[in-house]
């Protein structure tokens, strides 16, 4: 359903993505692993229309490549950025409301809010606090909840486990499983390859702006090269 075709992107004269192609099918969790600076964040931003790129991005068979970010969001793609990017001076509730900006129906909005609070009970008691006052883990939950408020078909997640305590990391990966069960397809970017592969169906390995490997997670977990470069610290 989401398909990137020979995506290329550069910052100024420095080329960062060299013709990347990948696909996320209906109901799939697909991870994009790679070391720092491999181009994972740039890939997600290119899909979301946040950085200029060449190539094409198809969503349900239609090109969304020349659309503005807001239009891409409208098509049903939600984005959880690296570093969470909660609106710090907006309350938790307002952050969630902004996630559902495109939904003008107050009843549907209330439903979505209840759904998210059921999935993230830790936010319930914090609704009226500024987003910036939450802990890192809570902010990550809020960032995911905010994205889900849009009721997306596909969710892009950029390093959701970064900088979190091990227990919170587990919680994040459990949430990803739960979201996937709700029928939302997921493109997950992670440096934590072990955690990412454990929740994904398929994976792509990115090195210096190129896809060097793509396979089912089972095969990737068994691949000696992947084990050496990406799983060594985690297994």
Partner 1 sequence: MFLQQVVNGITTGCIYGLVALGYTLIFGVIGLINFAHGEVYMFGAFIAFSVLALLGGPFSLAIVAVIIGTALLGCLMDGLVYRPMRMAPRVSQLITAMAVSIVLRNTAMLAWGTRTRAFPSIFPLRAMEFWGIRVTQLQLAIPVLTLLLMIGLHLLIYRTRLGKAVRATSLDLEMASALGIEPNHIIATIFALGASMGGLAGVLVSIFYGSLSFDMGVAVGLRAFVACILGGIGSIHGAMLGGLIIGLAEAMAVGYISPGYKDAIAFLILTLVLIAKPSGIFGVLVEKGG
Ligand X SMILES: Nc1ncnc2c1ncn2[C@@H]1O[C@H](COP(=O)(O)OP(=O)(O)O)[C@@H](O)[C@H]1O
**Which residues of the shown chain bind partner 1 in the complex (CB under 8 A)?**
48, 50, 68-70, 72-74, 79, 81, 85, 87-90, 94, 97-99, 101-102, 104, 146, 150
Selected from 31, 41, 57, 123, the binder of Mg ion by CB under 5 A is: 41
From Mg ion, ligand X, partner 1, none, which one binds at residue 98 (CB under 5 to 8 Å depending on kind)? partner 1
| Cβ proximity to ligand X, 36 vs 66, nearer residue | 36
| Cβ proximity to Mg ion, 41 vs 140, nearer residue | 41
**Number of chain residues interacting with ligand X (CB under 6 A):** 10
User: Do residues 16 and 9 make contact, with C-beta atoms less than 8 angstroms apart?
Assistant: yes
**Angle (CA) 112 118 124, round 5°:** 95
Here the tokens at position 153 are 């078909």
User: Do residues 22 and 57 make contact, with C-beta atoms less than 8 angstroms apart?
Assistant: no
Selected from 4, 22, 42, 64, the binder of ligand X by CB under 6 A is: 42
Instruction: Please provide residue 26's backbone torsions phi and psi, each rounded to the nearest 5 degrees.
Output: -50, 130
Helix 166-181 to helix 136-148 angle (10° resolution) is 10
Of 8, 9, 24, the C-alpha closest to 214 is: 24
Selected from 36, 166, 183, 235, the binder of ligand X by CB under 6 A is: 36
| Cβ proximity to Mg ion, 82 vs 214, nearer residue | 82
Contact between 81 and ligand X per CB under 6 A? no
Calculate Rg over the CA atoms of the chain: 17
Binding interface with ligand X (CB under 6 A) = 11, 16, 34, 36-42
């Amino acid at each position: 359903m989401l398909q990137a075709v020979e995506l290329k992107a550069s910052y100024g004269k420095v080329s960062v993505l060299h013709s990347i192609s990948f696909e996320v099918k209906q109901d799939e969790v697909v991870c994009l692993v790679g070391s720092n600076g491999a181009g994972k964040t740039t890939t997600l931003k290119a899909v979301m229309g946040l950085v200029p790129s060449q190539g094409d991005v198809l969503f349900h068979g239609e090109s969304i490549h020349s659309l503005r970010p807001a239009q891409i969001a409208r098509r049903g793609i939600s984005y959880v950025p690296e570093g969470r990017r909660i609106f710090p001076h907006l309350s938790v509730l307002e952050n969630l409301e902004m996630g559902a900006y495109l939904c003008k129906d107050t009843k549907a909005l209330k439903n979505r809010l209840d759904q998210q609070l059921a999935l993230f009970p830790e936010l319930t008691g914090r609704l009226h606090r500024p987003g910036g006052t939450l802990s890192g883990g809570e902010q990550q939950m809020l960032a995911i909840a905010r994205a889900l408020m849009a009721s997306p078909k596909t969710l892009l997640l950029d390093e959701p486990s970064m900088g979190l305590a091990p227990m919170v990391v587990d919680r994040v990966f459990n949430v990803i499983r739960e979201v996937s069960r709700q029928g939302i397809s997921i493109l997950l970017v992670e440096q934590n390859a072990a955690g990412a592969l454990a929740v994904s169906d398929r994976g792509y390995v990115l090195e210096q702006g190129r896809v060097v490997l793509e396979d089912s997670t089972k095969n990737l977990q068994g691949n000696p090269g992947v084990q050496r470069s990406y799983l060594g610290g985690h297994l």
